[in-house]
Amino acid sequence: MISMKGLTRYFFVIILAAVLRKLGNIAACGVKTFVVIFFLIIIWIYVTMRNTVDDNSKMPQHLREVNGFPSESFESKIQQPYLLMDRFEKNIKHDKNITTGNPLDTGTEIDTKLLKMAQANNTKGFEKNEVEYIKLKIEEANKEQIIYNEDIFGRLNNDSLVILVQVHKRVNYLQHLIDSLAKARYIDQALIIFSHDIYEEEINDLIKAIKFCKVMQIFFPYSIQTHPDTFPGADVRDCPRNIGKQKALQIGCLNAEYPDKFSHYRESKFTQIKHHWWWKMNHVFNNLNATKKYSGFVLFLEEDHYVAEDFIHLLRLMGRQCETKPQCKFLGLGLDIMKPGPSNQAIMSLFHTNLGLAFNRETYLDSIKKCAKEFCEFDDYNWDWSLNYITNKCGKGPKLSMILRAQRVFHIGECGTHSRNANCDVGKVLAGVKNEIKSLGLYPTNIELTETKVGRPKMMENGGWGDKRDHELCLKMTRTIPNIVIS
């Protein structure tokens, strides 16, 4: 059956032929007649071409590609959820190993899963898809274990230093830390591992831009971001912090049986910090290919720390001296509650600092991992107080820290977890720190021990860690397994 478009073309050709026969020799025609014929021909060509394009626009996808017509655009394939796919498109442009062409041919198994997931859902569930996207990207990054700049600075060895930085989302503080690390002597011999509890491309790109040493990124997989409405995040069925146990039992909230020693219930924004610290330590010593046989020191920093340029030099001096003292298990690059002293002086103490804490695999295995149960069940959401508790209560003999009196790691976070400072003037704090560093006698040639404090510090539980689920998750993270199923 002839279509209407076909009939239109047929009659147009007949009329044009009749006109030409009547005119005979076109050379004998006037200018006006020639112009009419010319425009008739142009109109015929236009109609023919438009109909051809319209016909091909309805051609099946596989026939369009065979006949050389462009395939459907990425936007027409994926319309929902909009927010997830906008992020996915940016990721495609950002990732060098993703190919062009068929959107499903992304070059990685994870990205294929993401695209199929987004195609199968609508905007109503986009928040859930966003979480799944992040989980998949975290899984991919933790599996790949990419070390940037290793081709320039060489592989890690036991004479190197591993610096393990806990990162949340305060990019301005993190930038200051990176700037201070870049100025440090011997930093080119270190591997810096940034451990994140937030997956955010802006932060990831900041880390990838580092060129002064080897860099790796790992991602805490049991964060609030990846579990926004279930444990270890805040489950909607959990008890409110201040409800009290009696009322909690009456309403039947999920963790009614497990308040802390102050009758308060868990707050995920605080419990996450201790979980993250414990996970990253175990992950580095047990699971990372680059470090699971490394026996040197691991230095623990946080995103709102700032280092003096000779901190690695001091760590080396302290490490050599610590090896001569059997009770010395930890190094500390500062203690902000201690009165400052000369640049090369240190003390031996049973108290362990959270400012530039460092220890090696032997200490991890003998003094920490063996005491995992005590750490994970100690009712304190602070990792540093929990660590001090186990090193004083678990195992045999005192476990001492060598701590510098003139600190080389400084805390610049004015708006941190425990701070109530409304000004948050990091510039003012940073200026003070830089002035203090200038006053130090940098690069001393030796470490002088001035005193040894072996009296056991008074240990108290600060609460926030009474929930049995936190205890169980913490213990599971001690084992040498990359993924944990959370029931």
156 three-state secondary structure = coil
| Residue 170 marked as a ligand binder | yes
| Residue 352 marked as a ligand binder | no
| Residue 310 marked as a ligand binder | no
CA 426 – CA 431 distance, rounded (Å)? 8
| Residue 274 marked as a ligand binder | yes
Residue the block writes with tokens 């090696």: 360
CA 276 – CA 197 distance, rounded (Å)? 7
Q: Report DSSP state, residue 385.
A: H
| Residue 235 marked as a ligand binder | no
C-alpha closest to that of 409 among 177, 200, 202, 143: 177
Query: Is there a contact between 319 and 333 (Cβ–Cβ < 8 Å)?
Result: no
| Residue 272 marked as a ligand binder | yes
**CA 280 from centroid of its chain's CA atoms:** 12
Return all residues near 346 (Cβ < 8 A) that are at least 6 apart: 318, 402, 403, 404, 405, 447, 448, 449, 450
Query: Is there a contact between 280 and 303 (Cβ–Cβ < 8 Å)?
Result: no
| Residue 485 marked as a ligand binder | no
| Residue 273 marked as a ligand binder | yes
Using CA atoms in the order 420, 422, 428, 433, what is the torsion angle rounded to 10 degrees? 10
Burial 285-316 (b: 16+ CB within 10 A, else e): bbbbebbeebebbbbbbbbbbbbbbbbbbbbe
- Residue 59: which region, alpha, beta or left (left: phi > 0; alpha: psi -120 to 50)? beta
The bridge status of strand 214-219 relative to strand 190-196 is: parallel
Task: Give the residue numbers of the binding site for Mn(2+).
Answer: 304, 411
Q: What residues are designated binding site? A: 166-170, 197, 272-276, 304, 411
Residue ranges of the annotated binding site for substrate are 166-170, 197, 272-276
